[in-house]
Chains A and B, each alone.
Chain A
């Protein structure tokens, strides 16, 4: 069975500092990996996704993530955060075959302080 673990429930950081949000997954099949962002009182929107190919994936708003198959990780990074990056971030995995469902992590709340 597939599962996703987001290792930090809350990450406080100062503005302009770098940040890493950690995501580990387990799967016995090839996976597709996603990061979504949820700004306060809004729905989720896609930040980036890994399907295949280059293990470094760039997304919107300066975020990037690195797929590490040996460590089964897909950590999200940004070199310099802004106040506007304050949001909830979700990691998700989608499997292959007949399973179309996305498996979600519990989310990481990123709080950027001035």
Chain B
């Protein structure tokens, strides 16, 4: 049981480049989300999805797009990378019920130069 798989683990981008961070889960979870983690700022929600075909913005959505065409996959797209997007990105999934835990991927460390 792989849980939540994120790829790549590390990435360096030049300013203005675009890329997609991949996230896949094999637990048939309805709820998936993307966070970014920056020193002293905890986890900030970027986008989330409550099921296939349904996405919504979190607290820091600017510069990011998501889609949810299947239950398993929830890719995060950086449209035009900026140095301010240098961060560690985590994907998480849960069954969607409030009393159940979220499962996290191992993270993607992104540096924008």
Q: What residues of chain A have their CB less than 8 Å away from a CB belonging to chain B?
A: 9, 32, 34, 41-46, 49, 51, 90, 94-96, 99-102, 104-107
Cross-chain contact of A43 among B41, B48, B107 (Cβ < 8 A)? B107
Interface status of B19 (Cβ within 8 A of chain A): no
Say whether chain A's binding surface is mostly helix, strand, loop, or mixed: loop
B53 interface residue (CB < 8 Å to A)? no
Per the bound structure, the CA–CA distance linking A99 and B96 in Å amounts to: 10
Q: Contact: A101 with B48, CB < 8 Å?
A: yes
Docked-complex contact A100 and B50, CB < 8 angstroms = yes
Q: By the criterion CB–CB under 8 Å, are B98 and A96 in contact?
A: yes
Does B99 lie within 8 Å of A32, measured CB to CB? yes
Q: Assess the B101–A106 pair: CB atoms within 8 A.
A: no
Chain B: residues with CB nearer than 8 A to chain A? 4, 31, 33, 40-43, 45, 48, 50, 58, 90, 92, 96, 98-99, 101-102, 104-107
B47 vs chain A, min Cβ distance (A)? 11
CB nearest neighbor in B for A46? B101
A18 CB, min distance to chain B CBs, angstroms: 25
Q: Which residues of B contact A96 (CB under 8 A)?
A: 98
Chain B hits for A99, CB < 8 A: 98
Residues on A with C-beta less than 8 A from B96 are 100
> Measured between alpha carbons, how far is A102 from B58 in the docked complex, in Å?
11
Chain A residues positioned under 8 Å from B98 (CB to CB): 32, 94-96, 99-100
Sample (11) of A-B pairs whose CB atoms are under 8 Å apart: A34-B101, A44-B104, A49-B99, A49-B101, A90-B42, A100-B31, A100-B98, A101-B48, A104-B43, A105-B42, A106-B40
Closest 5 CB pairs of A and B: A43-B104, A106-B42, A46-B101, A44-B104, A94-B98
**A102 to B32 alpha-carbon distance, docked (Å):** 12
| Complex contact A43–B40 (CB within 8 A) | no
CA distance A58 to B61 in the complex (A): 36
CB distance from A98 to the nearest CB of B (A): 10
Return the contact of A102 from the options B90, B102, B106, B107 (Cβ within 8 A).
B102
